[in-house]
Structure 1
Amino acid sequence: MESGEDKPRHGFINRYWVLIVIVLWLIAWSARDWLAPAEPEDPPAESGVVLEEEPSAEDQEAAREEAAREEAAREEAAREEADREEAAREEAVEEPVEVEALLTEARETYWREGAAAARTVLEGGLETQAYESRERADILGELGNLQYATGDVEAAMGSWDRALEKLPEGERRAMMAPLRPIYSRHHPQGADHLERFR
């Protein structure tokens, strides 16, 4: 049998359960920010993520101007190189200098007057040759040797590359063999760079 005390208590919960649910809901709703999991404002230090500050408008403008200046300088250098190559093609003298005589003169000048004078002789000889001539390859090869002997390895490799481009296919291998050790030591791609001339 049920006691009389259980009934009123049980009746109280039945009567006010809707009211209790509403009160609990209001409490939860008003504390929603406190009860919600917080999102970290900064990433944890161990994640390795570093947020960079957004550059100011002045910094962005300065960066754009710097990039534009660099691009203009690259374009100007490319234009100058193209102009020099075009001028070399157009200014080829009607009577080219005999290459063997020029190379002998450059070597003698090197021993008598030094590297700068020998370089002037070789560069003058380049101007007398047609741009696509085979003789130009011999002069460029000797110019590369001179540049290498004076310690300008990068310029020497540039001259040798241009010489290899001018040589007929059959003659390239003979020139490439002594260059392999030099390119292995000094070129970023090593001797593999020479494979493009095969």
Structure 2
Amino acid sequence: MLKSLFSITALCLAISGCASKPEFQQITYQYDSKEHSGTVAVTETTNVPDEQCTDRWRDERTYQPNGVQQITGFRIEIQFLDHSPDTYGNLIKVELPSNHGRDVLVRDFQKDKTLMVDVDKNGLVKQGDLFYFPEGYFVRAAQPQFNDENLSFCLGVDRTYVPAAELKTPNPLIHLDRLNVRFNGKPGVEKTFTFGSVQPISVNVRAVPL
């Protein structure tokens, strides 16, 4: 169950190649995880207009590839620019077909981690609580459109992590930083989005027709 909303602020998100910077909202809330240990703190940065992507576009049916090569839609490239030596500069490429209605393309790049927290050393034996959490990225894309000379689609990028300082506490807080945008740009032209909370990150995004 979602805990009470405790912060909604407006901010400008830097987008390279744009003459004007659209206003984004940053929404923060917490919920108790049913799949992992502890509480998840969500920081969502969004510019999604209601008329373009509904509030719950990410919850639509998941797109299931049927093995047939797609000939309509976009090829999306996303590069992660974070503070991790394991993922900085990583580039992913996904294909988003345009003939599947509101179906959502999903790609899971998270890894489950298990650590011991609140450790008490008793002689040579360490005792503590096991803490489970996901770490990494989860990407969603949906509703591709051709608007004049531009390509447009709903894009969601989630990054989940636990800062090192949190792991030293009895009840670590899992951070989920979410980018929720309506991408709109010319084919092949890269845009940079910056989002996050404790560990702000940037992603470079571009799309080309299939």
Which bin holds the TM-score, normalised by the shorter protein? under 0.3
Query: Does 1 or 2 have the higher relative contact order (CA < 8 Å, sep 6+)?
Result: 2
What is the TM-score with the length of structure 2 in the denominator?
0.21
What is the TM-score with the length of structure 1 in the denominator?
0.22
Q: Which has the higher helix share?
A: 1
